[in-house]
Amino acid sequence: MAEPLLSVRGLRTHFETPEGTIRAVDDLDFDVFEGRTLGVVGESGCGKSVAARSVLGIVEKPGRVVGGRILLRTHAGDTLDLAALPQDSAAYRAIRGPEIALVFQEPMASFSQYYTIGNQITEAIRLHLRLSRSAARARAIELLDMVGVPQPSRRIDEYPFQLSGGLRQRVMIAMALACDPRILIADEPTTALDVTTQAQILDLLRELQAKRGLAIILITHDMGVIAEMAHDVAVMYLGRAVETGPVADIFAAPAHPYTRALLRSIPTVLAKPRTHLPTIAGSIPMPSARPAGCAFSPRCSEVLGDVCRQTEPPAIGEGARSVRCFLHGGAP
């Protein structure tokens, strides 16, 4: 496989609070390749969005990246360690947009309601591409048309509250693509949408990837979306990737008990009507109260006693496939 566009190694993002240190991301590894989609999946609170914000350098205080490397291969062919850059530096600002862009989970909370969508898209274009006002407006109309917004020359002068949820998400994608990034991070891009609109947005992302060779990091809690969209997957639990690998391999033979539990909870057409879906026992712990040993051990149906409860399992595997679980070796 080709060299990754983005390689994250040992990423740690902590929040210092009066109650103690919250290790929101704790020793996270993953790779992102050109033209491929990495699905990052896990329950709410496992650190998916914080990991995305860490890559973009937009972690809000009191959070900060305290360790690890975020290696980005740029348009120019250079390799930068983003973890070594101050978040508010000009060098980092030059990365956001032209190299990596983010589609937020809730567009209504991301757009300003006091400015038209055209004003907000052209601001990003003029900031990075140094185009005239008229050229930036023409570029914005072109982007809106590209993402399937009807009558873009009219819609460009509308406000976010005048658009449906699906159109707002399309506009958010248009804004993210304004500066032709190589990597697009989509953070739960379909969560607030109805099923039909969800399918349309996912189809749009797939089409844009095919046309532009985008690398996509798709953050979701939905294993069905992962199966449909992703080439590779990182299953996260309490700040770590407990299993990584090609989607087809992981769905065919999931190695980690948490991955198996997530897959069992997916509704299927073969399920018996009016029966409860399988659930995962317990709930995800607070990051400030991380259990000793394997973080999943209090909820795991296959726990190996004190080995799992007292010792953190290392990553085991070869190539693109790895798993953090003593069921596959590495026990002390």
Tell me: pLDDT of 331 over 70: no
Would you identify the CATH topology of the domain 6-99+181-328? Answer: Rossmann fold (3.40.50)
pLDDT at 237 over 80: yes
Taking only the tens place, the pLDDT of each residue in 52-111 is 999 999 999 999 999 999 999 988 888 999 999 999 999 999 899 899 999 987 777 788
Residue 302 near residue 257 (C-beta atoms within 8 A): yes
Give the tens place of pLDDT for each residue, 3-25: 899 999 999 999 998 888 889 99
Q: Sheet with 6-17: list strands edge to edge.
A: 20-32, 6-17, 63-73, 79-81
Look at residues 217, 169, 166 and name the one whose alpha carbon lies nearest to residue 36: 217
Q: Sketch the domain layout of the chain as residue ranges.
A: 6-99+181-328, 107-180
Instruction: Supply the DSSP symbol for 63.
Output: E
Helical H runs in 213-273?
Answer: 223-229, 247-252, 257-264
Considering only CA atoms, give the Rg of the chain.
Answer: 21
CA distances (Å), 257 to each of 67, 222, 250, 291, in order? 28, 17, 12, 17
Under the banding of pLDDT at 50, 70 and 90, the label for residue 332 is low
Q: Could you read off the pLDDT of 95-151 as tens digits, one per residue?
A: 998 999 999 877 777 888 899 999 999 988 888 888 899 999 999 999 999 999 999
Q: What percent of the chain has pLDDT over 70?
A: 99
State how beta strands 240-246 and 37-41 pair: unpaired
Query: Tokens 């300003």 correspond to what residue?
Result: 112
If you search the block for the tokens 């898209």, which residue do you land on?
121
For the chain, the first-to-last Cα distance in angstroms comes to 33
How do strand 100-103 and strand 20-32 relate by DSSP bridges?
A: unpaired
Q: What's the whole-model pTM score?
A: 0.92
Report which of 120, 108, 109 is spatially closest to residue 174, judged by C-alpha positions. 120
pLDDT per residue as tens digits for the range 24-41? 999 999 999 999 999 999
DSSP 213: -
Helix (H) or strand (E) holding 125: helix 117-129
Could you tell me the pLDDT band of residue 294, with boundaries at 50, 70 and 90? very high
pLDDT tens digits for range 143-193: 999 999 999 999 999 999 999 888 998 999 999 998 889 999 999 888 777
